[in-house]
Amino acid sequence: MRTGFKVISLAFPTTVLMFLALGSLERGEQPPKKKVVILGIDGMDPQILKGFADQGVLPNFSKLMAKGDFKPLQTTMPPLSPVAWSTFITGQDPGGHAIFDFIHRDPKTIMPQFSMARTIPSDWTVTLGSWVIPLRGGRIESMRRGRAFWQLLEERDVPTMIYRIPSNFPPQSEGHALSGMGTPDILGTSGTFSFYSDHPPPGSEDMSGGQVNKVTVQDFKVSGQLTGPQNSFRTTGGNMTADFQVFLDPEEAVATLRVQDHEFILKEGEWSDWIRVDFEALPHVVGVSAIAKFYLQQVRPAFKLYVTPLQINPEDPAMPISVPGDWSAELQKELGYFYTQELPEETKAFSAGIFNGEEFWEQSQSVYQESRRALDYALRNFKEGLLFFYFSSVDQGSHMLWSYSDDKHPGFRRDGKLSKAIQTLYQEMDEALGRVMSSIDEQTTLIVMSDHGFNPFYWEVNLNSWLLEKGYVQLKDLGRRDGVTLFENVDWSRSQAYALGLNGLYVNLRGRESGGIVSRGAEYDRLLDRLEADLLAMRDPRNGNHPITLVVRTRRDLKGTNLDSAPDLIIGYNRGYRSSWKSPLGEFPREVFVDNRDPWSGDHSVDYRLVPGVLLSNRRISAEKPALYDLTVGVLSEFGVPKLSEMIGEDCLE
């Protein structure tokens, strides 16, 4: 063999081997791609979880508790979902992220406002006859202050997928995000269902959370209209509408429904699939697309048809519900249509008596099944970085079905199936956890957390009525206490304080409230001292209980400085108590304490010490008493990202 050929013949395999070796070295030097999966289960309570785990019905939770760690997770004050999730998102207390309740108020008008987002209409329009043409689009603004922790990760090129975390509408992310709590229906409300009947229930004209429409059955046919959003292209205003017809069989309990170009058959008691409904704003030019499900509750003797709140169509979203903007359409393609409004479980129809417990259960289970399918999709597509996935079913089920499993509840209902409903919801979460655990490797950090726990809601407290009794509020006409809402009967020139929202108490402050009478400084401080003492001394005369166990003075006790919309006091109720249904919106019923017989029978808007959330992880939890804001820092630390100076927590994971 010639030498030159020999050299070449040796050099070639040697070079190949060197490249291979270098390649493997390079791969070996690369740090493994960090993965963190967070399962956010709204309203999961540590005591209830432990109880079911001890009974042996939650094998995956038990396994995670044994292999990893489990501790109660301190929530926020007030322990409300938008507040608590905002704290987890930003690592700040409510004073930092500026979300203090579901509703805030405009101090000039004392009108309630949605706390999480606001719509700013187009300020540049042209009017042509009865048409208004916007020349610049309006926008929707999140009211949450502070940076989301996943934004810090994204800055360091960590891929993120944030599925329906509350208080993230419009979604803020550079990765993938779908908005959750805070996302309205197509009407811009937190979910307004429609109900059509030839025999509407009495008092349905003022039904909260839904529109009841009287229809007539003529020749076995019903014609109705779905009410869409306001037509902002019309000077005359008015809502866009879409017609539908229902053809009833003369004998059988079955009907054909025709909605635009969709036609489908439902038997009594059946739900339709998602139906796309298009509303025209500017004929053939501009429209708004929505989706809805139809439930044929009864054919006869009374005709009853329920339609879900009209959802923003993820295929063609009228509002920004995802990042990237077309991710919701991609999800729709993979998963089919899905609920996009916040908290889609139909609590309002149940509270209003349109649904019974069984119907609520069926509807809320369909919401869960959608989320469960989405979890499978998320896990299939999760390769590295952060995956946050949210479930609402435990929270909404615990609110609405508590009274089925608590015989001390004033509204206790006996029902064999529903008495086990909360356990079933926890078991469903256990199954979902099992799915997550089976899809991750040992290096992946798994966190299961909730924003708060749960308490029974036995008794309502009409806090505004108590303020009236104690002389903090004066009415213009004491004889008109019933049925007057939104503080219309309040004499502001003689009122020092008012309660608004689930836990908020505001001082009628001069220079802030338009009719303010309390001066800043000593008078304000003296009033708060007196209020705090009186509130903590409050007693329920029927049983001698103290209904209030904690009063937080926001400007003294909170760390953040975004306090413009903060109440002056945040009220922490005792176990079993909660603000009434009427007081948060400015009513003054005659009784201060009322038994709660509403299906909404479990709650958590109490003293935060009574309702911690849960924290489970396959890592050891280093903090003795971890709080939501500690977990924010803990997640950042998993990726080696330092916390921001305004974050108040410490790393809680080893």
Among 118, 199, 214, 267, binds another protein (CB under 8 A): 267
Helix axes 357-381, 393-401, angle to 10 degrees: 170
Near another protein in 182-221, by CB under 8 A:
219-221
Antiparallel, parallel or unpaired: β 160-163 and 176-178: parallel
Compare residues 70 and 244 and give the one whose CB is closer to another protein: 244
Beta carbon of residue 380, minimum distance to another protein (angstroms, whole number) = 17
Return the closest-CA partner of residue 82 out of 98, 65, 60.
98
Q: Are 622 and 651 in contact (CB under 8 A)?
A: yes
- For the CB of residue 334, give the shortest distance to another protein in the complex, in Å: 11
Question: CA-CA distance, 355 to 402, in Å (whole number)?
Answer: 16
Q: How far is the CB of 336 from another protein (least distance, A)?
A: 12
- Residues 35 and 384 sit within 8 Å (Cβ to Cβ): yes
Q: Read off the tokens for 367.
A: 């919401």
Nearer to another protein, 243 or 252 (CB): 252
Verify binding: residue 264, another protein, rule CB under 8 A. yes
Q: Smallest distance from the beta carbon of 250 to another protein, in angstroms?
A: 6
**Distance in angstroms (rounded) separating the CA atoms of residues 572 and 539:** 14
Amino acid making up residue 626: P
AA letter at 623: A
Between 263 and 469, name the residue whose CB sits nearer to another protein.
263
- The minimum distance between CB 199 and another protein, in angstroms, equals 22
Cα 647 to Cα 95, 249, 609, distances in angstroms: 12, 63, 21
Query: Does residue 256 interact with another protein by CB under 8 A?
Result: yes
Q: For another protein, which is the closer residue by CB, 300 or 619? A: 300
Nearer to another protein (CB atom), residue 254 or residue 281: 254
Which part of the chain contacts another protein (CB under 8 A), choosing from 10-18, 263-271, 346-354, 520-528? Answer: 263-271
Which of 252/557 has CB closer to another protein?
Answer: 252
296 lies in the site for another protein, by CB under 8 A? no
Residue 602: closest CA among 420, 394, 460, 458: 458
SS (H, E, C) 437-459: HHHCCCCCEEEEECCCCCEEEEE
Kindly state the tokens that stand for 209. 């959370």
Helix, strand, or coil here: 173? Answer: coil
Question: Rounded distance, CA 462 to CA 589, Å?
Answer: 7
Is residue 278 a contact residue for another protein (CB under 8 A)? no
Q: Residue 251 Cβ, how far from another protein at the closest point, in Å?
A: 8
Our finding on whether 524 is near another protein (CB under 8 A) is no
262 or 420: CB nearest another protein: 262
Binding mask 215-254 for another protein (x = CB under 8 A): ----xxx-------------------------xxxxxx-x
Give the β-pairing of 69-73 and 210-214.
unpaired
Q: Looking only at residues 81 through 120 of this chain, which bind another protein when binding is defined by CB under 8 A?
A: none
Q: Which is nearer to another protein, 28 or 250 (CB)?
A: 250
Residue from the set 263, 334, 591, 654 that interacts with another protein by CB under 8 A: 263
Residue 633's Cβ-side half-sphere holds a number of Cα atoms within 13 Å equal to 23
Positions touching another protein (CB under 8 A) are 219-221, 247-252, 254-256, 263-267
